[in-house]
Homo-oligomer: A and B are copies of this chain.
Amino acid sequence: MPNVHQKNTVLKPALPNKDAEDNPCAACEVRSHAVCGALAPADLERFSQTKKMIVLEAGDHLIDEGEPEVFVFSVTDGCLKYFKLLPDGRRQIIGFLFPGDFIGLAKSYNYTSSVEAVTDSSLCRMERRELEKLTESMPNLDRRLHDMASLALADVQGQLLLLGCKTAYERVATFLLLLSKRAGERGMDTNPVDVPMSRDDIADFLGLTTETVSRTFSRLRKDGLIGSDKNRKIEIINEPGLSEIAEGF
């Protein structure tokens, strides 16, 4: 079965670096959003010793659906996508991953989705076994994982509503607001919102085709809700209007 979406599968360890070796996690900019945000300094030290930094280039393949689930990951930089495939190549992107997001919330013996870098990215990698060991002595960590799973569940349930009920117009509006919101949570620009993924990826996330996504952006532009796409950034001109559309009014 050919995987039409697969690209390179390179997996490069980050170059060792003095600062990183001294205090790799304490300096992490996204810690407050990540699993490790719940850890006390002492725990953080122990945590940081069991992890390894991973750097990916755009298009690099990190995980193949079905492989034994040995590692879990925490995204520190960039954007990735995780997706499922049908035998004939149809693809559903389950979600996009941003700094602070965790890969491995739905634990199982084998990965249930594939993961690929959308942009150049970096992640912390840890064996699931190690993580489990750590959670036993760090109730905060366990609680944090639980909360993140809880949030992920709510997110994906919202996505069901989108895929099951919403029109193309509503889906794209919802998507833009989602990106904007997630950027805001991470302290990035919410208004000219960064859209790092291709039309193809957006289409496979929204259950549409590239062409429909493209046409829908054009329509939103024509309707004065968004500005034109400049350097992967889209300006939201009429946020309340976009919200109304997204909510299905």
Contacts and interface: CB of A to CB of B under 8 A. Distances in A.
Interface string A145-160: 1110111111011111
Chain A at the B interface: SS class: helix
Interface stretch (A54-62, A106-114, A115-123, A193-201): A106-114
A153 B149 contact: yes
Task: Give the contact-size bracket for chain A.
Answer: 35 or more
A165 B106 contact: no
B112 A157 contact: yes
A235 interface: no
Contact of A86 (B94, B153, B248): B248
A108 to B, nearest CB: 6
B87 A249 contact: yes
B105 A153 contact: yes
A107 B160 contact: no
B156 A153 contact: yes
B165 A248 contact: no
A31 to B, nearest CB: 22
B154 A108 contact: yes
A204 interface: yes
Contacts of A166: 86, 90
A90 B222 CA distance: 27
19 contacts: A84-B157, A86-B161, A86-B248, A88-B248, A90-B165, A92-B160, A92-B164, A92-B165, A94-B157, A105-B150, A105-B153, A106-B151, A106-B157, A149-B150, A149-B153, A152-B153, A153-B153, A156-B157, A160-B160
